[in-house]
Amino acid sequence: MAINVDCVFDARAATGEGAIWSQARAGLWWVDIPAGRLHLHTPSTGENAVWEFGRPIGCAAETRSGRVVVALTDGFFELDAGSGELTALGGPAPGTRGHRFNDGAVDPAGRFLAGTMPLAGGLAEDTSGTLYSLDGDGTVAEVMGGFHVINGMAFSPDGRIGYISDSFPSLRTIWAWDYDADGAVWSNRRVFFDTRAVAGRPDGATVDADGCYWMAGVSGWQLVRITPDGKVDMEIPMPVEKPSKIAFGGPDLRTMYVTSIRMEDDPEQPLSGGLFALEVPGVTGLPATLMDR
């Protein structure tokens, strides 16, 4: 099946990531990690608003009150997008440990989960990557550690399964856990999918309305759809080597938005670092979960 992939914004982002659809704003939040920028892309107008923080941003979450919580190298902060006011919420300062936040997601109970990776990059032999949670009242907890590069966080439609991947080249695995959202308990870890079976390593992900897990196949020029029982049923070629995060958006949640990583001076992928959009017949997404704050 041939799928048309369009570049909707030639952003030339160093590391585009963190895409989440805002139903309230009818736009896509996304980040450029090393540039320390949060973007809001509005498809109906083509406008792309930017907030700059002066240090790397890993990921973001929209709140029920309409604000945005961002995970920066010096902790969690709440942004009033209208005024630009940034309020510290506390939490870990991964920059002081040689880390930065990377991938994140909001769990079914409205907690913001964000994981770290070494500032040295995703190729470092370092398993100190850590997952943290931020509750609506500002409480921060360390959830689990032992990762190289935390990525691919997502939840099944019923919220009972949580997914996390590690993009480290010698590992490149996606795991599944049983998840108790009420108690924030992760249990029964098992391998969901070993990405050595496909070209790309696991990067940012989402789950569609059928419960299938969509993986951005970084370094593989592809998106991969994996069924709930861990089988590949679709691989979609991308015009860039390093797609990095997938989010469903649009009024009917049928449009897949994909961020990417810039590959300078590569004539085969002049649009790398851009924001892309595509639709897959018969596939729809789920609304982004809002942080309970």
DSSP notation for 266-291: -TT-TTTT-EEEEE-TT--B-PPPPB
On the question of pLDDT at 186 being above 80, the answer is yes
Q: Is residue 263 part of a domain?
A: yes
Q: Domain of 142?
A: 6-279
DSSP label at 16?
E
Domain count, the chain: 1
Percentages helix, strand, coil for the chain (3-state, rounded to 5) are 0, 55, 45
Whether residue 124 has pLDDT greater than 80: no
Q: Is residue 208 part of a domain?
A: yes
14 is a domain residue: yes
203 counts as catalytic: yes
Give 22-53 pLDDT, tens digit per residue: 999 999 999 999 999 999 999 999 999 999 99
Catalytic residue among 103, 107, 203, 208: 203
Q: Is 22 inside a domain boundary?
A: yes
Question: What pLDDT score was predicted for residue 122?
Answer: 67
What's the CATH number where 64 sits? 2.120.10.30
pLDDT of residue 259 exceeding 80, the answer is yes
| Tally of CB atoms within 10 A around 95 | 17
Residue 124 inside a domain? The answer is yes
C-alpha 94/C-alpha 129 separation (Å) is 10
Determine if the pTM surpasses 0.95: yes
Give 201-256 pLDDT, tens digit per residue. Answer: 999 999 999 999 999 999 999 999 999 999 999 999 999 999 999 999 999 999 99
Is residue 288 included in any domain, yes or no?
Answer: no
Is pLDDT above 80 for 190? yes
Token pair listed for 179:
């998840």
Does a structural domain hold residue 241?
Answer: yes
Q: Three-class SS of residue 95? A: helix
Q: Does any domain span residue 270?
A: yes
